[in-house]
Amino acid sequence: MLCTKVCNFGAIEKDGDKVKFDLDLCVLCGSCEEVCRDNAIKIERKIIDKEALADYKDVWVWCETSEGRLRGVGLELVTKGRELADKLSENLVAVLIGHEIEAHAETLIHHGADKVYVVDEKIFEHYTTDAYTIALNTLIAPHKPSIVLYGATSNGRDLAPRVAARMALGLTADCTGLAIDDERQLIQTRPAFGGNIMAEIISPYTRPQMATVRPNVFKPDEPDTSRTGDIEKVEMTISPVQVRTRVLESVNETVEGMRSVEEADVIVCSGRGIKDPSNLEMPKKLAELLDGAVGGSRPIIDLGWLPPSQQVGQSGRTVCPKLYIALGISGAIQHLFGMQSSDIIVAINKDPDAPIFSVADFGIVGDIFTVLPEVIEAVEELQAKR
């Protein structure tokens, strides 16, 4: 009986020549239904109104700005969105909300957008849930896009559920894969259970299909400055009364020279093995050489050696840079969850059995205090040669 084998949730048990379902454990994922040779398993689902869904067209991406700057994930979304729109033979529309941000519209077109809506008002200068929800809903409702994507940043994960709930829509969080199937549906792939399994999620009954997308997963294409597109400024009057939260102060904790771990191509991350905060000068030096960010695992963040914004792992940030260097990090599952999709992982640790080595492309078993200075020197030599 295949169904007992494919169940990821331990909800099906053999009972003689029959099977028993534990519906409290079942999440109704349908894996058993798919493999049952006797067609004995049936999950009742809603009926889809295909005609109504066909009214929805175009792929939309919300490209976040922060203090007038376009966040990197915006370009990643435009690149991926272009691919999806091409597959559907539809347009790619980008939405820019903020203050004094119009200049980014052209950049988005160069990266693949056919059209950019620009909502540029003083009230959008700083992110608030209410103002941004109203702006997006006002744009989405009449235009009926088929797909809306958001970057899974702090603000994206705050905004997307609010917009989706206002329209009674489904939303898939933190996608690491997006594709279009034969029925023109968006297949949204995301990790669950601490990265132990991947789930493919669809939104079959409602449009637009909405998802937040993890930053750094999709790489942005090089811009094509010959590309042209439509830029439409949208006037939107939002009264301060409609905005029920007030940002009294915005505190930037990223220390001078300390880049955000979510946006950096290179992360040099330290763990308990670094022993003393004064020893962080070495990883900082290496990060500087590689134009990267300095990160920390949970124990050293808890000790206050680095600000919380630099924590990599399940209770911190999930990152996927091109290069991740783990120094004195053993590799608890919560840490691995936060970094294992990095392109290249390097680990230096004196414990040869540390779990971090099981995901490392290049591991050095040794003392970071003797190895790291040599690495810094070797990098400096290499850079001097170039």
Partner 1 sequence: MKQVPEVADVQVDEKTGTLIRDGVPSILNPFCEYAVEAAIQLKEKYGGEVTIITMGPPQAKEALLKALAMGGDKAIHMTDRAFAGADTWVTALTLAEQIKKMEFDIVICGKQAIDGDTAQVGPEIAELLSVPQICYVRHLELSEDEKFVIAHRETDEGYDVVRAKIPVLLTATKGLNEPRLPNIMGIMQAKKKPMEEVNAETLGYDVDKLGLKGSPTQVRKVFPPEKKKGGIKIDAEDPKAAARELVEFLAKKGAI
Site for partner 1 in 318-347 (CB under 8 A): 322-323, 332-334, 340, 343-346
How many Cβ atoms from other residues are within 10 Å of residue 316's Cβ? 21
Question: Is the distance from CB of 190 to CB of 198 less than 8 angstroms?
Answer: yes
330: left (phi over 0), alpha (psi -120 to 50) or beta: alpha
Residue 70 binds partner 1, judged by CB under 8 A? no
Q: For 197, phi and psi rounded to 5 degrees?
A: -135, 160
Question: Is residue 10 part of the contact set for partner 1 (CB under 8 A)?
Answer: yes
* Residue closer to partner 1, measured from CB, 224 or 377: 377
Q: What's the CA angle centered on 167, arms 161 and 169, to 5 degrees? A: 65
Among the listed ranges 50-58, 104-112, 158-166, 274-282, the one in contact with partner 1 (CB under 8 A) is 158-166
Smallest distance, partner 1 to C-beta of residue 226, A: 27
User: Cβ 74 to partner 1, closest distance in Å?
Assistant: 13
Site for partner 1 in 208-247 (CB under 8 A): 244-247
Contact residue for partner 1 among 18, 19, 23, 278 (CB under 8 A): 23
Residues 263-282 that bind partner 1 (CB under 8 A): 266
Which residue bears the tokens 């695992």? 297
- Give the DSSP H or E segment for 191: strand 186-192
Please count the other Cβ atoms lying within 10 Å of the Cβ belonging to residue 375: 19
The neighbouring-strand residues paired with 133 are none
Q: String of b and e for 161-191 (b: at least 16 CB within 10 Å)?
A: bbbbeebebbbbbbbbbbebeeeebbebebb
User: For partner 1, which stretch binds (CB under 8 A), given 89-97, 116-124, 270-278, 374-382?
Assistant: 374-382
Contact 255, 221 (CB under 8 A): no
For residue 60, the minimal CB distance to partner 1 (Å) is 18
Site for partner 1, residues 125 to 144, rule: CB under 8 A: 126, 129-130, 133
User: Which one, 109 or 213, has the nearer CB to partner 1?
Assistant: 213
CB of 190 to partner 1, least distance (A): 8
| Nearest distance, CB of residue 50 and partner 1, angstroms | 16
* Contact code string over 288-307 relative to partner 1, x by CB under 8 A: --x----------------x
> Rule CB under 8 A: is residue 68 a binding residue for partner 1?
no
